[in-house]
Structure 1
Amino acid sequence: MCQKISQEIREYLQHKLPAYMIPYVFVPLEYFPLTPNGKINYSAFPEPDVSTFQSNYIAPRTPTEEIIANIWVQVLDIKNVGINDNFFEVGGHSLLGTQIISRIRDSLNIEIPLKLFFDFPTIAKLAEHIESRKSLNISGLSPIIEPRKKQKQLPLSFAQERLWFLTKLEPKRTDYNMPFILEIKGLLNIVALEKSINTIIERHEILRTNFSSIDGKPTQIINKDINFKLSIDDLRNKKETQANKIVNQFTERPFDLAKGLLFSVKLLQLDTKVYWLIFNIHHIIFDGWSYEILQKKLFTLYQAYGQEKKPELGQIPIQYADFSLWQRHWFTEQNLASQLNYWKEQLKGTLPILQLPTDFPRPSLQTYQADSYSWHLSSELTTKIKSFCQQAGVTLFMTFLTVFKLLLSRYTAEKDVIVGTPIASRNRTEIENLIGFFIDTVALRTNLAGNPSFQELLSRVRQVTLDGYSHQDLPFEKLVQELKPERNLSYNPIFQVWFNMINLPRKRVKCDGLQFKSIPVFDTMAKFDISFYLEEENQEIKLKFVYNKLLFKSSTIEGMSRHFQTLLEQVIIAPENNIASFSLLSEKECYQLTHQVNKVTPTNSFLNFPKTDIEQSIPSRFEEQVKKYPDKIAVQSKDNQYTYQKLNTEANKIAKSLLNLGIDKQAKVALFFDHNVSMIAAMLGVLKAGKIYVPIDPNYPQDRVLYTLEDSCAEVILTNQINSDNIKAITHGKLPIINIDKLNDVAVEINLEISPDTLAYILYTSGSTGQPKGVIQNHLNVLHFIRNHTNNLHISADDNLNLLASYSFDAAVIDIFSALLNGATLFVFDIKKEGLNSLYNWLETHKITIFHSTPTVYRYFLEKLGSKVSLAKAQLSHIRLVVLRGEPVLKKDVKLYQQFFADNCIFVNGLGATESSFYLQYLLNKKTQIQKQIIPVGSTFEDTEIVLLDEEGNITDLYGEIAVRSPHVALGYWQKEELTQAVFLKDFQGKDKRIYRTGDWGRLRNDGVIECLGRKDNQVKIRGFRVELGEIEALLNKHPQIKQSVVIYKEDSLREKQLIAYIVPQDISLVSNSQPQIIK
């Protein structure tokens, strides 16, 4: 097919198809080859000569172009190449680029960085650049590696030295074993095979090298005569499980570096013509590239020996020990200064610790037990990805690394991500065919801040990757020595995850009538938290996660693989979009996040709270209960009790007194009451009058009382006789005060029509500025929360609820109205006056069925019971629900629940805020297994969704600030418009909902429930680690001598962040003589 017609067809398709679907080569045939049954024989198609059919083929014109073209043909294994051919489009990648660089160095006497292949990807442009460098006399060559002369001591290479020290520390470790298996099918000549292996050992000194300390220095000891004997096991009559068992035992055997071969081989005969050839080689003498050399030489030698011929083997010009001497001589501080400066700049400052959310607690000492998960990308997706890479001018490595870093950032909310990756370090022709440990490590650091487009992020990764390749000569060990990173026995320093693209060929090989195939060996060691492997295989891309199975469940890693592919598929379609716009979650996972249902639910009967019933006022719903249960006790405290009818009467009297004042329709009415039934009547009275109540605790400092009155613009104060003089003294008579104990005792009826949108209250909560902020809520939203709480927990008229929280907190709103709007009874208990010692008897006396408190009160209360477990369990058997809220709930709290409460009791961990009451609840029973210290906060309610936001306010998937999307979040902060706009956002979807930013960090677990990781402002970074202060407190509280703890952080005089723990011991006598102790 002539070039003109080929080009016409290409241009035709360009108008019809995306670029990735356009054939790269058009091959003319007279007819299609057919199979015997008349179908097209695809395997009989001739191999296309890519360069011959390129429409823009131009032959080399200059000597430099000719030399580079010949190098490309040799390394890329193609027949011909034009000067305008793109290196990456004709099969090039970074590993092949290093080989081309080596040959250019040898042929043209010039040193060029790998980055030039990306800047000048064609022969014409590369040759032009090289000519310009030569004219400027810029070469930068390092000396060649030469065979050593007699040397008494042979030093280790830098990489070997690191492994030698690590192995000396842990002689039994096997994580540096490199096992692999070759499956052989056919009639095997075992004598020829053994002779082949012996020849390889003889030719490569490193395979017969040991390592010992001489005069305090690690030294290579090269053994001259090694007679290798192949170990053979006959398993023809055994099960395959026996073969796997032998493989595991063989590959997990630790080596002694000082003696014996560090290269072991075993042959298993599985069937008459089926064998497994198992290799186990210590990494100190071997790497992945060496595997390809070994395999290639093994096939060549076996073929020759099998035919009783002398193999044609060239001389090996140098040995690994020669390289070690050269490296020690050449890699001096002076020669590596620019490389060291680059890496010190790249890794300056505090290095981030990538703290992936784990399924199991991280042990204090790093473990290495591994498991793996593999999957393939389809050939169709692979084609799309390759096309994307070509158009973007990047490699598969760069694209996949960028997606991987984006995935890690989403999982950790970390914007500064460091990933370790291996580099072959075979950038010299002298060592290309040499077995040995040459592979090195580079740490690639990328900043994902600013919500860049994927294109921009890919550009950042591309640049840092190319710069890393250009500075690969600095041994990683030297860099670690220079950086002196802070060591932590539970983490790897510098980076905690690994990324490896395997470019080495993995093919079925036929050799002298035999078929060879690589068999994967089960991953038993995890050097990092997670390692990601990428490899092309049969026109598809194979991906694999190797992970520490003592940190992660298999289901978590499977989920991570789905999230990776979901991201990948999105970014190649719309790379111009900002990274925050890409979702990790499938539709199913998104649904789980917003519609998760608790697996544990109460079983008692109750009256469902219909959704239509929230379209009314709070008093309207209350009065329905008055009609149903007029003589039932509604609320009871130590000194008084009201039936529903009596409470309604008292509330009407208070409402009437407010209406008689003639104050504004939505006037703010301050309440100033102790913790008793009077405050309940006052709240209802204000609501019945259509006013807004503002509760103030008489125990508050005078300044806070005055601030609340002034800020809320309160027009009147409601109080009772016992508090009347106190509030008069505080306000100096500036506001009218109604003493409800002196109201006329004549019963009145209040039939005021109150809209559900009418404001109900302003509750003041702590503010970051030091001044409380008032949260505004209306009747509709309160009823929404009570409805969900009722239906979730099956609250009925048979229930007895306790009220422990002050009425100035939203927890009290839930308790008060959950009782009074369902015909239940509310029992008021004043902890400050009565103390926790009497709470136990009080709960038993009043047969409380729903116990609600903060975790702190709950812990103190149960700890007071001490050893009375069996008695308490019997006497508290009427409690069917333990509801905790307001602080983090710990595993310790669940254990207390399991000890002290009845078997049918349900434990509820709730998450809420004044701005949105309850918005998540996690219910568990005695059968629920809790493995982590963090107890999930669980599932959402009807008309309430949870989204996670990153630090820039973008919706993210797995880790971020918990935000509530609902039409029923608070209306805002009273007289704080700027703060309201910052915390209450418009719905991203433009609906009638709003989004409340809670300030709590959370993560979506793979089972669909939410974990709360603490307050956003309670997380600090200490030496690169994100530290949740509550997690430290939880661990301290587990100590048998510690009763309670609080951890804070401060900067010392050197501006170093330090953690400070304040501890209340079980034995208070220890406090008097104690001094602050540094806790490390």
Structure 2
Amino acid sequence: MKAPLSPAQERLWLLQRLDPDDAAYTMYLVRRLRGALDTAALTRAFGQVVARHESLRTSFAEQDGVPWAMAEPHGASAPPVEWLPAAGEREAAELVAERVNAPFDLSEGVPLRIAVVRLAADDHVLCLTLHHIIADGTSLNLLLDELGECYGAAVEGRAPVLAKLGVRPSDYARWQRHRAERAAPYWLERLARPPVTELPFARARPSGTGAFHTVRVDAGLAGRVERLAGRHRATPFMVLTAAYQALLSRHSGQRDLLVGAVFAGRDRVELEPVVGYLAQTVVLRADLGGDPSFAELLTRTRADALAAMGRPGPPFERLDLPVDTLLPTMLVLHDRVSPPASFGGLEVSDFAAGYRQAKVGLLLEGAWDDDGGLVLTFCHDTGLLDRAEVELLAARFVRLLESAVDRPHEAVSDLRIWTDQDESAIRALASPRPAAREDARGVPELIEASAHGRPEAPAVLCGERTVTYGELWAWAGELAAALRGHGVREGDVVGVCLPRSIEAIVALLAVWRAGAAYLPLDPDDPPERHAPALETAGAARAVSRIGLPGDIQVIDPATPHPKAPQPKAPTWSRRRGRRPRHPVPRRRLTRSPPRAPRVVPRPSWSSTAPSPRACAGCARSTA
């Protein structure tokens, strides 16, 4: 049977076409089965579940550039079960990790794989993997329950007792296509001019590789979360989302930010037993304007979530914005799930899947445990955040959550967020510091001293290019003069939008020499990321080789202003500790003026000249 895809399925299909090797949307069901396993009964159970659910018999074909869902007949057989021997748990874990991290090719049949790893005659690991386009999180729970029922029925020689299916995934997809058109105006207005949400500690570029850090909220705090939600006619999900929005705002200072969320999409009884991709990914826009109390923020988050829950997800393809702008981070709270009532006498337990994918930069998943507590898992992209940073974020989130539920009428900015480690660091920063040496010099002065003392020494290495201290100082002087010729004055902020290169180092040094502060911009970022940064910093000029948004005046680092006066080389006094005299009075270039951000590092080099710096990607250094 040929049927159209839902808008959400179309997006997943397109993402797989754009990056066939991406396994971020591979879903998995991994469980350990202890006891005497009847392999024939388990194979029969797989066949019954696959025959029952249309999505598990659906492949995808492209016709004239349009993807279609092609469901096989009801009597189609299940994919063959892969029976794998393992010498021990380590080998079993490797076999499972290999499968859950493997991508699917949606053009090659049903995206479903079934494997059973044999550790011993009475010890096996079930590994079921499938693409997100045919299932969601609720579907995995349904599959486990139905597999247990079908296996138990096969062992006991009876017919399985399963809920009646009244809706097919293809019917749901058609319905969603109609609803999406009606919901589009809401999302286009709600997400107009979206902010670029800043993740705490984020750096570099996403790698797609994920790592996980888990913390547990004890039953006492989890209970207080539920009671606070009840008093405000909200849900625990809304409380956690408001706390997460507050966490991000406290780190970035942003009052307008975006957090993605996932709703089950099963708001009708007939949808509850359906295996398929019914979940809806939405974007919640936090409003922390006016420094609200946490109770007020919860009220705002509740209204936003209720408005989003009643609609299909945003039409991302019509918003003309990068996905990482709209979904930089997400929060998902899973429903309470009970273990299967029966699995034919087998003991069912968890088994580490070894999943290593990251869908977004930072994903917070919550799941209730059997003791009434809440297990929070922070999945982070290792290219953006490292483990220590995520551990710190997790500890701060729990501290902020405690403060919010205990003092909900306190302003968000006053909620306690710092951990004991943070408070120790703050006390250390506040303690008296030894006075700086009178002869202490900043980076520009150290480089200047090297330019006069050993001008032929290599300063910067990049590939086959070498720039000496004399050349670096002269080049930076010419560019500094060009900046002043373009109107840069002491205390200004100048953007620097260059890839890692010799020119970038020259530009930073030139901005310092011009008496300004630099604002680093990543040339790989889209213009909508540059614009708010330049506006907030008050930068009217930038050193770059690409155009920048707005009325920013762009100066090419390789082409100094032809009419700009060239700076004279300052002379050093032989008397130790005396600063060089310049043709015109000026402040030390390493000291930021009162209205400019302090961006100059304080190196702790013991030598009188800095070591040569090597650009990223260079394999050699003279240091």
Q: TM-score, normalised by structure 2?
A: 0.73
Q: Please tell me the residue identity of whatever aligns with 2:184.
A: L
Instruction: Quote the Cα distance in structure 1 between the aligned partners of 2:435 and 2:102.
Output: 56
Partner secondary structure for residue 406 of structure 2: coil
Aligned to 1:399: 239
Contact 2:93 2:354 in 1 (8 A): no
- Alpha carbons of 1:853 and 1:542: their partners in 2 closer, same or farther (altered >3 Å)? closer
Aligned to 1:551: 384
Check conservation: 1:1030, 1:1047, Cα contact below 8 A.
no
The answer to whether the aligner puts 1:480 opposite 2:323 as a matched pair is no
Question: Is residue 219 from structure 1 mapped to residue 76 from structure 2 by the alignment?
Answer: no
Matched residue type, 2:528: R
Instruction: Give how far 1:549 is off.
Output: 0.9
Match of 2:38 among 189, 194, 199: 189
Structure 2 SS opposite 1:418: strand
Q: Deviations over 1:1016-1038 (max 9, x none)?
A: xxxxx963557656999xxxxxx
CA distance in 2, matches of 1:246, 1:1059: 54
1:524, CA displacement in angstroms? 1.1
1:344 equivalent in structure 2: 188
Q: Hey, what's the Cα distance between the residues in 2 that align with 1:449 and 1:154? A: 45
Q: Could you say which residue in structure 1 is the equivalent of 2:179?
A: 331
Equivalence for 1:205: 54
**Pair 1:283–1:571, CA change in 2 (3 A):** same
Tell me: CA distance 1:345–1:263, structure 2 relative to 1, closer, same or farther (3 Å).
same
Offset at residue 360 of structure 1 (A) = 4.2
Check 1:156–1:853 CA distance in 2 against 1; reply closer, same or farther (3 A cut).
closer
Query: Which residue in the other structure is 2:366 paired with?
Result: 534
Instruction: Judge conservation of contact 2:51–2:78 (CA < 8 Å) in 1.
Output: no
Residue-by-residue CA offset, 1:847-905 (whole Å, 9 max, x unaligned): xxx452563x54455456776338x9xxxxxxxxxxxxxxxxxxxxxx999xx9xxxxx
Note the alpha carbon deviations across 1:364-405, whole angstroms, 9 max, x for none.
xx4311001001111222222222222333211111111100
Contact 1:402 1:458 in 2 (8 A): yes
**What is the rounded CA distance, in whole Å, between the counterparts of 2:219 and 2:174 in structure 1?**
46
Give CA-to-partner distance per residue, 1:901-931, whole Å, 9 cap, x none: xxxxxxxxxxxxxxxxxxxxxxxxxxxxxxx
Instruction: Say if 2:216 is the partner of 1:380.
Output: no
- Contact (CA 8 Å) 2:199, 2:328: kept in 1 or not? no
Note if contact 2:101-2:357 (Cα within 8 Å) is conserved in structure 1: no
CA–CA distance in 1 between the matches of 2:529 and 2:349?
Answer: 45
Per the TM alignment, residue 267 of structure 1 is displaced from its structure 2 partner at its CA by 0.6
Residue 1014 (structure 1) shift = 6.2
Residue of structure 2 in register with 1:310 after alignment: 159
1:638 aligned residue: none
Q: What amino acid sits opposite 1:507 in the alignment?
A: P
Matching of residue 590 in structure 1 with residue 423 in structure 2 = yes
Distance 1:226 1:296 in 2: 20
Quick check: 1:1023 aligned with 2:528?
Answer: yes
Determine whether 1:460 maps to 2:300: yes
Question: Is the 2:197–2:325 contact (alpha carbons within 8 Å) kept by the matching residues of 1?
Answer: no
Structure-2 change in CA distance of 1:1067 and 1:352 (3 Å): closer
1:196 corresponds to which letter in structure 2?
A
Structure 2 residues not aligned, in runs of 5+: 460-466, 473-503, 506-516, 521-525, 565-623
The Cα of 1:583 is off from its aligned counterpart by 2.6
Q: Say whether the 8 Å CA contact 2:79–2:112 is kept in structure 1.
A: no
Offset, 1:257: 0.9
**Taking structure 1 as reference, are residues 492 and 518 closer, same or farther at Cα in structure 2, changes over 3 Å only?**
same
Contact 2:79 2:113 in 1 (8 A): no
Rounded to whole Å, the distance in 2 between the matches of 1:420 and 1:859 is 47
What's the CA shift string for 1:675-695, capped at 9, x where partnerless?
Answer: xxxxxxxxxxxxxxxxxxxxx
Matches within 5 A, 1:388-787: 388-470=228-310, 472=311, 474-476=312-314, 479-485=315-321, 487=322, 492-507=324-339, 509-538=341-370, 539-596=372-429
8 Å contact kept, 1:448–1:457? yes
Listed as ranges, the gaps of 5+ residues in structure 1 are 1-150, 599-610, 612-787, 796-817, 819-849, 873-894, 901-932, 935-1011, 1016-1020, 1033-1043, 1072-1080
Distance 1:863 1:428, change over 3 A: farther
Q: For residue 311 of structure 1, report the CA deviation from its aligned partner.
A: 2.7
Q: Is the 8 A contact 2:210 2:356 kept in 1?
A: yes
Q: 1:532 to 1:312 in 2, by over 3 A?
A: closer
Alignment of 1:809-958 (within 5 A): 818=438, 850=439, 852-853=441-442, 855=444, 857-859=445-447, 862=450, 868-869=456-457
Query: Secondary structure of the equivalent of 2:154?
Result: helix
Matched letter for residue 307 of structure 2: D
* 1:220 partner amino acid: A
Separation (CA, whole Å) in 1 of partners of 2:381 and 2:49: 35
The alpha-carbon distance between structure 1 residues 862 and 234, as it changes in their structure 2 partners (threshold 3 A), is: same
Q: CA deviation at 1:242?
A: 1.1
Q: 2:5·2:173 contact (CA, 8 Å) conserved in 1?
A: yes
Q: Distance in 2 between matches of 1:416 and 1:1045?
A: 26
- Partner residue, 2:575: none
- When residues 167 and 332 of structure 1 are mapped into structure 2, their CA distance, relative to the original with a 3 A threshold, is closer
SS at match of 2:324: coil
CA deviation after TM superposition for structure 1 residue 579, in Å: 1.3
Shift in alpha-carbon separation, 1:1070–1:300, aligned structure 2, 3 A: farther
Counterpart code for 1:505? V
Amino acid at match of 1:537: D
* Structure 1 position 323, deviation (Å): 2.5
Q: Map Cα deviations across residues 1030-1050 of structure 1 (whole Å, 9 max, x no partner).
A: 999xxxxxxxxxxx9747999
Partner letter of residue 398 of structure 1? M
Equivalent in 312, 321, 338 of residue 170 of structure 2: 321
Letter in 2 for 1:352: P
Partner of 1:158 in structure 2? 7
Instruction: Say which SS state the counterpart of residue 151 (structure 2) adopts.
Output: helix
Q: CA deviation at 1:792?
A: 4.6
CA contact (8 A) 2:7 2:180 kept: no
Equivalenced residue count is 504
Alpha-carbon distance change, 438 to 427 in structure 1, aligned in 2, over 3 angstroms = same
1:653-706 deviations in whole A, cap 9, x for unaligned? xxxxxxxxxxxxxxxxxxxxxxxxxxxxxxxxxxxxxxxxxxxxxxxxxxxxxx
Name the aligned partner's letter for residue 1065 of structure 1.
A
Is the 1:1013–1:1028 Cα contact (8 Å) retained in structure 2?
Answer: no
Q: Counterpart of 2:215 in structure 1: which amino acid?
A: W
Between 372-381 and 423-432, the greater mean CA deviation after superposition: 423-432
Structure 1 counterpart SS, 2:227: helix
* Shift in alpha-carbon separation, 1:354–1:268, aligned structure 2, 3 A: same
Aligned CA distance change for structure 1 residues 859 and 1027 (closer, same or farther; 3 Å): farther
**CA apart distance, 1:1063:** 3.1
| Structure (1 or 2) with the larger CA radius of gyration | 1
The letter for the 2-side match of 1:203 is R
Q: 1:590 to 1:1050 in 2, by over 3 A?
A: farther
**Contact 1:444-1:465 within 8 A present in 2 as well:** yes
Deviation of 1:521 after TM superposition, in Å, equals: 2.6
Shift of 1:410: 1.0
**3-state SS of 1:182 partner:** strand
Q: State the AA in 2 paired with 1:481.
A: E
| Alignment CA distance shift 1:1013-1:357 (3 Å) | farther
> Contact 1:211/1:221 (CA < 8 Å) preserved in 2?
yes
Q: When the two structures are superposed, what TM-score results if normalisation uses the length of structure 1?
A: 0.43
One-letter code of the match for 1:869?
A
1:283 pairs, out of 113, 118, 132, with: 132
